[in-house]
Amino acid sequence: MSPGRRNDSFAGDSHVGLVRSGNEDAFLVAPPLFAVADGLGGHHAGEVASSTAIDTLLEAAPRAADAKSLGRAVRRANTAVIQAAESGLGRSGMGTTLTAAMVDGTRIAVAHVGDSRAYLLHFGELQQLTQDHSMVADLVRQGQLTAEESRHHPNRSVITRALGSDPNMLVDTFEIEAADGDRLLLATDGLTSMVDDDRIEQALGSEPTPQAAVDALVDSALTAGGHDNITVVVVDIGKASAGNGQRIAAVKQPGANRSALWLLWVLAAIAIVAGAVWSANSYARTQAYLISENGMVMIYEGVPGDFAGISMSWLSEETTLSASSLDVVTANRLAAGIRVDGLEQAHALLEEYRARTTGEPPSAPAP
Ligand code: MG
């Protein structure tokens, strides 16, 4: 169990979950500044993207809870992620969400890109403060999906805005006036795709401390299956900025996951030498990914790259969809490869992409 980050008035924790081999999320608790980031890109690149964003946010953050200034800091973080990819740190096509909040008494400034979320428990009632920049959120806004359907949609993790690709990326920024005793929650989709709003409201409303609320929410996501990395930050409003704007030392998600990931790879390699190629192969057969090659979208069965020198992917279909017909975020993600759970999801995602280029609504996903 990870030790978490605690104080009486705020807490944060990140858990790798039960399915992923590495943790690409990152978080920051540096009162009055709090943030979560969910990296994407695979092959360690997601970790580089999310940690670069968090580091830059901390350096560039304003001293006051001013949303416009906080938005500028998020744009600086975007530039830093793009530069990191260009300089060979990480990979091109890597990206990250970033949801940041600055708390001054009961005033909260928020800056946000992607599908991580900020919520406020306001007088006991849960309010989602941010709007997801994701394909399913667009479909919900258009009335084509319900919020509950979006939670189970095969393309729920496809985001339409992220740090790391567009130098002119838009940042949502706003300020709200909360009340003494309210609770702020920042979370990656590893929580919100596994745990519904009722449970989140109940945990935030009943747990006595932010640390207890963080632990309860992480446990709920794990109990629900822990399909993704889970990152949760909880802040009690009215207490967090008791230091009168003075920032305490930042506590960030440590890089320990990177060495853990290396250890996993070493263990995996030993397992292969011991004759466990079969199990790696069986796992790969349950996976699929879309990738652009020579400008066209290809569907592969398996996982990208190689595993201890052995390729674990098999071309399944050369599609007729051109990557350049898609938006730049998607095209960049396709260049790096977009992993999904199996060929069925790969075809559903392809349908969505085709629909975007034709303006037709996508055919309904398989039940
Ligand atoms: Mg995630």
pLDDT tens readout for residues 256-283: 444 454 555 555 555 555 555 566 667 7
Residue 223 to residue 25: CA distance in whole angstroms: 19
CA 246–ligand 1 middle distance (angstroms): 31
| pLDDT confidence of residue 2 | 41
| pLDDT confidence of residue 246 | 39
CA 275–ligand 1 middle distance (angstroms): 32
| pLDDT confidence of residue 341 | 77
Query: Would you give the distance in Å from CA 243 to the centre of its chain?
Result: 30
Asked if residue 184 lies in contact with residue 242, where contact means CB atoms within 8 angstroms, the answer is no
**CATH code of the domain in which 94 resides:** 3.60.40.10
32 preceded by a cis bond (ω within 30 of 0): yes
CA 79–ligand 1 middle distance (angstroms): 21
Which of 106, 96, 121, 98 lies closest to 32, judged by CA?
A: 106
| pLDDT confidence of residue 123 | 94
State which of 205, 236, 267 marks the end of a domain: 236
Residue 204 to residue 128: CA distance in whole angstroms: 13
pLDDT lower than 70: segments of the chain: 1-7, 239-281, 305-309, 360-367
CA 229–ligand 1 middle distance (angstroms): 6
CA 227–ligand 1 middle distance (angstroms): 9
| pLDDT confidence of residue 152 | 83
Residue 95 falls inside a structural domain: yes
Indicate whether 226 and 359 sit together in one domain.
no
Residue 2 falls inside a structural domain: no
| pLDDT confidence of residue 267 | 56
Task: Determine the 3-state secondary structure of 11 from DSSP.
Answer: strand
Indicate whether 260 and 232 sit together in one domain.
no
Indicate whether 175 and 219 sit together in one domain.
yes
Residue 246 falls inside a structural domain: no
| pLDDT confidence of residue 43 | 72
Residue 103 to residue 199: CA distance in whole angstroms: 25
For the chain, how many structural domains are there in total?
2
CA 244–ligand 1 middle distance (angstroms): 33
CA 37–ligand 1 middle distance (angstroms): 9
pTM of the predicted protein model: 0.68
Indicate whether 91 and 210 sit together in one domain.
yes
CA 54–ligand 1 middle distance (angstroms): 15
Indicate whether 128 and 195 sit together in one domain.
yes
State which of 209, 236, 263 marks the end of a domain: 236
Indicate whether 219 and 321 sit together in one domain.
no
Kindly report, residue by residue over 158-177, the tens digit of the pLDDT.
Answer: 899 999 989 999 999 999 99
Residue 307 falls inside a structural domain: yes
Domain that holds residue 16: 10-236
Q: What is the DSSP string of 187-229?
A: E-HHHHTTS-HHHHHHHHHH-SSHHHHHHHHHHHHHHTT--S-
CA 138–ligand 1 middle distance (angstroms): 18
Indicate whether 85 and 217 sit together in one domain.
yes
CA 228–ligand 1 middle distance (angstroms): 6
Indicate whether 34 and 107 sit together in one domain.
yes
Residue 1 falls inside a structural domain: no
Residue 5 falls inside a structural domain: no
Containing H/E element for 98?
strand 98-104
Indicate whether 225 and 319 sit together in one domain.
no
| pLDDT confidence of residue 304 | 75
Indicate whether 150 and 260 sit together in one domain.
no
CA 245–ligand 1 middle distance (angstroms): 31
CA 51–ligand 1 middle distance (angstroms): 14
CA 96–ligand 1 middle distance (angstroms): 10
Indicate whether 160 and 300 sit together in one domain.
no
Indicate whether 287 and 183 sit together in one domain.
no
Residue 183 to residue 210: CA distance in whole angstroms: 8
Kindly report, residue by residue over 279-301, the tens digit of the pLDDT.
Answer: 666 777 778 888 988 889 999 98
Residue 291 falls inside a structural domain: yes
Residue 328 falls inside a structural domain: yes
